[in-house]
Chain A
Amino acid sequence: MSNPQIEIQLIAAIVAMACAIPGVFLVLRKMALISDAISHSILPGIVIGFFVTQDLNSPLLILLAALTGVITVVMVEFIQKTGLVKEDTAIGLVFPVLFSIGVILIAKNANDVHLDVDAVLLGELAFAPFDRLMVGGADWGPKSLWVMGSILFITVSLLVLFFKELKVTTFDAGLSSVLGISPVVMHYGLMSISSITVVGAFDAVGAILVVALMIAPAATAYLLTEDLKKMIWLSLLFGVFSAISGYWVANFLDASISGSIATTLGIIFLVVYLFAPKKGLISVLYRQKQQRIEVSLITFLLHLNRHEEESERHINHLQEHINWQAVRARTVLDLAVKNNLVKIEDDIVFLTEKGLAFTEKSLEYILSNKDEKIEPMKEDFFLFRG
C-alpha cells in the first residue's frame, strides 16, 4: 500500500466513526430524516463560508455551515409548531429551499471559485491526501484527517461526558425535564454535533453519502443488540468496516470511493436485516411459523383433554380440528409425539402424563394470563416467549 492509500482509508474510517456516534442517537430519536435535511441545507453555509475563508477545511467555514444545519432544525420545528403541517412535510419544505440557495450561489460565482455542486454532493476522497497541512514547512499529513480527527475527538469526549444525559433524554424527555436534565439542551447539542460532523465529512464523502454513514451503521446495529453501549460499538465497527472494504471495492472496480462505501453499508444492512438472530426477517418468519404450529398443538391437546370419546380422538379425525391449511396436521402430531405429549394406540390418540400436565399449565395461563405460570415452558416453545 502506498502512503496516499493508507491516508485515504484512515480518513474514511475516521469519518465513518464520527458519523456513527450521532447516527445512533438520531436513529433512536426517529430523526434519521433530519440528518438528510441537514446534509442538504448546509450547502449555502459552505458556499458563503468558502467565499469568506477560501479554504474548504477552515474551522470558520465548518462553524458557519454547521450553523445553517441548526437553523434548518429550528425552521422545521417552527413550521411544525404552527400545527398547520406535519413534521415530514416541514422537513421537505425547508431543506430544498436552503439547498437551492446554495446551488444558485455556486452557479453565480462558478467562474472564480474552486467549488462545484458535484464535489459537494459526492465528495472526492481520492483527492483528500493532496490538500496537506503544512506547518513551518513541515508536512503534517492531509488536512481533512486533522479536521475529522478533531471532530471525532470532540464527539467521543461529549459522548463519554454526557452518555447518561443523552440516554435519558432520548428515552424519556418528560422525565429528563422533571429531573432537571434539559431535553432541549441535549437536543440542540446533538443537532449541533450532527451538523458539524456532516460539514466536516462532506468534503470527503459528499453531503449526500454522509447520511448513509450516519444512519446505516446505527440501523444495522439496532437489529443486533438490545444494549445502547453495544449498539454504539457495533455502529463504529460497521462504519469502519464499510469504509475500508468500500475503499478496496472502489479500487477493484475503479469506481467512486464514497459510492462504494455507501453500497457496502447497504449490503451489510441487507445481510443483517435478513439473518439477524432475533430481529432478522428470516428469524421472524421462522418464529411465526413455529408459533402457528404451536398454537395448533395446544388446540389439539386441549381437544384431547376435553373429549373422552374415541371418535373424537381418532387419528384421521385430527385434520378436521386443526386448521391444516395453515399447518399440516401431520407436523402437529409429529411434534406432539416427539415431545412425548401424546401416544398413539390403534390409531387412537391419548394424552401422556406429561401432555396432561402441559395442557393444564397452558389452560391456567390462558385463563389467568400470568406470565410466571409458563416461565419453564419458554425454554421449549417460541409461543410463550412473547
Chain B
Amino acid sequence: MDTQKLAVQIDDLTVAYNYKPVLWDIDLSVPEGVLMAIVGPNGAGKSTLIKTILGIIKPIAGTVSIYGKTYSKQRKLVAYVPQKGSVDWDFPTTALDVVMMGTYGNLGWIKRPGQKEKKIALESMEKVGMLAYKNRQISQLSGGQQQRVFLARALAQDASIYFMDEPFQGVDATTEIAIINILKELRKAGKTVVVVHHDLQTVPEYFDWVTFLNVKKIATGPVKEIFNDDNLTKTYGINYKVAVNK
C-alpha cells in the first residue's frame, strides 16, 4: 500500500456540530484504485466524513487532501452521490436533466450545457440502464431508478474519485447488483470509490477496502485483513459475530 498513490489523505480531522464532536481526530489514507466501504453505527459520522472531505462541512481542526492538494483545487477529480432522501424528487425536471447536472462542474458558472454535455449525460444513463426513462419526470421514477439516476449523474461528472452516501438504501436486489457492478467497473478503470455502507453481510463480497468508523477511526485497510469480529465489536460496541472470515 505504501508504494501506491494516495487518493485521499486526512490528518487529525475533528468535526463538531455546536461544539459536540461528531468526528474526533481522524487520520485516514485511501489508496488510489480501491473500492472502499465506510461502516459504523448510526451517528458514527459516516456521512459527515464524506461531506467534510468534499468541503460541504468545515472541520474545526485537521486537513484533507485529494491527490496531495486541497479539495477546492481538485474539484474536477471528484464526483458525489448524496443520499437519495436529501433532495426533493417532486422538483419539476426530467431524469436526463438531473444527469446533465453532473456536467455543470466542468462547465463552470454561466456557460450553458450543450450537445456535448447532453451526449455525456445520455451515455451515463445508458451505463446504468436508464436510457429508456430519460424524459420521465423524476417523481415518476421508483426508488431504485432514482438511485440509478444519481449514479448516472456521478458518472457524468467523469471523476477520478467517487464518493457515495448509502447508494443501496431502499433499492431492490436487481438495482443493488447493477450498482455494485458499475462500482466494480469503475475500480477496474483505476478509479477510487468510497461508499458509506450499511449492510455488513455484503462488505466482503462488494469491497476490497474498508474503514470502521465510530466518531473515532477504529481501523482501515484491506477487507481480507481487517474485516473481522474484533473490529466489528470495537465499532458497534456489542459482541459482533458476522462469521464472514473464511
Stretch of A163-171, A236-244, A338-346, A348-356 on the interface side: A163-171
Q: Are B101 and A386 in contact (CB under 8 A)?
A: no
Interface residue? A322 (CB, 8 A)? no
Please, how many angstroms separate the alpha-carbon atoms of A67 and B17 in the complex? Answer: 29
Please, how many angstroms separate the alpha-carbon atoms of A227 and B91 in the complex? Answer: 9
| B178 CB, min distance to chain A CBs, angstroms | 13
Interface residue? B41 (CB, 8 A)? no
| A25 CB, min distance to chain B CBs, angstroms | 11
| Residue in A165, A168, A174, A370 whose Cβ sees the most chain B Cβ within 10 Å | A174
Q: Are B80 and A225 in contact (CB under 8 A)?
A: no
Number of A-B contacts (CB under 8 A): 87
Interface size class of B (residues with CB under 8 A): 35 or more
Chain A 161-185: CB-based contact to B (< 8 A → 1; otherwise 0): 1111101101110111111110000
Q: Chain A residue with minimal CB distance to B91?
A: A171
Q: Are A174 and B112 in contact (CB under 8 A)?
A: no
Please tell me which one of the listed residues A167, A174, A225, A230 contacts residue B56 in the complex, with CB atoms under 8 A apart.
A174
Interface residue? A369 (CB, 8 A)? yes
Q: Are A171 and B54 in contact (CB under 8 A)?
A: no
Q: Are B105 and A178 in contact (CB under 8 A)?
A: yes
Please, how many angstroms separate the alpha-carbon atoms of A386 and B136 in the complex? Answer: 12
Q: Are A171 and B18 in contact (CB under 8 A)?
A: no
Interface residue? A380 (CB, 8 A)? no
Chain A 23-50: CB-based contact to B (< 8 A → 1; otherwise 0): 0000010100000000000000000000
Interface residue? A226 (CB, 8 A)? yes
Q: Are A178 and B80 in contact (CB under 8 A)?
A: yes
Q: Are B172 and A171 in contact (CB under 8 A)?
A: no
Interface size class of A (residues with CB under 8 A): 20 to 34
Q: Chain B residue with minimal CB distance to A82?
A: B18
| Residue in B78, B79, B91, B108 whose Cβ sees the most chain A Cβ within 10 Å | B91
Q: Say yes or no: A369-B172 contact (C-beta < 8 A), given A168-B104, A172-B87, A179-B104.
A: yes
| Residue in A161, A180, A369 whose Cβ sees the most chain B Cβ within 10 Å | A180
| A15 CB, min distance to chain B CBs, angstroms | 25
Chain B 75-105: CB-based contact to A (< 8 A → 1; otherwise 0): 1001110100011100111100010010011
Please, how many angstroms separate the alpha-carbon atoms of A300 and B56 in the complex? Answer: 54
B98 contacts across to A, CB distance below 8 A: 171
Q: Chain B residue with minimal CB distance to A172?
A: B87
Interface residue? A228 (CB, 8 A)? yes
18 extra A-B contacts, CB within 8 A, seeds A172-B86, A174-B86, A178-B54: A28-B92, A82-B18, A165-B110, A170-B91, A171-B87, A171-B101, A174-B82, A175-B82, A178-B105, A179-B105, A180-B72, A181-B109, A228-B91, A228-B93, A230-B92, A370-B174, A386-B140, A386-B142
What are 6 A-B contacts with C-beta separation under 8 Å? A83-B18, A162-B110, A174-B51, A180-B75, A226-B139, A227-B94
B residues whose Cβ falls under 8 Å from a Cβ of A: 18, 51, 54-56, 72, 75, 78-80, 82, 86-88, 91-94, 98, 101, 104-105, 107-110, 112-113, 137, 139-140, 142, 145, 153, 157, 172, 174
A residues whose Cβ falls under 8 Å from a Cβ of B: 28, 30, 82-83, 161-165, 167-168, 170-172, 174-181, 222, 225-228, 230-231, 369-371, 386
